[in-house]
Amino acid sequence: MVTAFAPGKCILFGEHAVVYGQPAVAVSIDAGVEVTISESNKWSLEGMPFEPSKHPHISHIINDIFQYSGSPLEIDVKSGLFSAAGLGSSAALSNSMGAALHHLTKPEEPLDLISLARIGHSAEANAQKGRASPTDTATSALGGCVVVSGERVEGTEHIFDSTLETPEGSRSWSICRAALPELEDIWIVLGFTGIGSPTGKMVAGVSELIEREPQRMDDIRAIGEITSSGLESLSEGNMEGVGLAMNSCHERLRNIGVSCPEIEGLISAVQNHSLGAKLTGAGGGGCMVSLTRHPRRVAECIEIAGGKPLISKLGSGGARILPQ
């Protein structure tokens, strides 16, 4: 029996624009997904017969990546993340499945987090019709603060490069790590609207909008510039600057049609207690994030406004095998 854990992620800046090569900055969060696998005499997932077509991430990893031909597996998944909510639950699932299967099949080989990030990205891209940046999977695999961009970003540590054939052509990203300053009195509070929103659909929607209104590429480029200045503030420990950049990023995300009334409601509810607030992830529902020194107060505001809060520090550890 093997159990692996991979954290969820919160994009501080740059969602959607990163699909077009602009930089994005994401941090891993405390909550994540735990996968336990054990050899059995029949395939099962959560005690039910495993149907590969219903679980494209898991079946891609088992069949296409590992080409696993061993005994059937009993697979159990425990998630501390809201799903289809912009917190990278499918990336965390792919990474924890990949880590567990790696350990089961090659127990003597240490887990290589870069290979794991590539496995996770392949599973995401396969499930999202070829449109997925490596942001979610790299952040969940590596942990900490990850910067994903079309070009290497100054002041960050380069970790690996990634290329993907998308319906819009070939895309390449550089995945770097940014050092986080000591952030003792700073938290993020995620607020789930309760509305699940599939990333693939939202990404396709932005692509259609840009085709109809090419001037929307200005918003994509502006998100790139805001991301760079937000990253600079983050590296300096200037959290007021980070908050302002989050607010500006949200305005641009609104322009490309990925906010919704429920996200706007949660953002207004937390404004008085936040350094900054924005949607995080694909939008269209899902989650918003507040950067704050008053996490309990913000969590209360989210609950009163009808959302579900999740408090986290910024940049917890990455994917790992858990002791049995």
Q: Provide the binding-site residues for ligand MEV, judged by CB under 6 A.
A: 11, 15-16, 18-19, 86, 88, 132-133, 135-136, 199, 203, 281-282
Shortest spacing between CB 114 and ligand MEV, in angstroms: 18
Shortest spacing between CB 1 and ligand MEV, in angstroms: 31
Report the residue number, 156 or 199, with the smaller CB distance to ligand MEV: 199
Shortest spacing between CB 308 and ligand MEV, in angstroms: 18
- Burial of residue 42 (number of CB atoms within 10 Å: 0-12, 13-18, 19+): exposed
Residue showing tokens 């207690």: 273
Shortest spacing between CB 82 and ligand MEV, in angstroms: 13
Cα distance between residue 267 and residue 122, in whole Å: 33
Cα distance between residue 70 and residue 210, in whole Å: 46
Cα distance between residue 175 and residue 150, in whole Å: 9
Cα distance between residue 138 and residue 175, in whole Å: 8
Residue showing tokens 């959560």: 46
Report the residue number, 36 or 133, with the smaller CB distance to ligand MEV: 133
Helices (H) then strands (E): counts for the chain:
9, 13
Report the residue number, 178 or 279, with the smaller CB distance to ligand MEV: 279
Report the residue number, 66 or 82, with the smaller CB distance to ligand MEV: 82
Cα distance between residue 115 and residue 112, in whole Å: 6
Cα distance between residue 101 and residue 282, in whole Å: 28
Report the residue number, 283 or 309, with the smaller CB distance to ligand MEV: 283
Shortest spacing between CB 134 and ligand MEV, in angstroms: 8
Report the residue number, 132 or 289, with the smaller CB distance to ligand MEV: 132
Shortest spacing between CB 133 and ligand MEV, in angstroms: 3
Cα distance between residue 226 and residue 292, in whole Å: 19
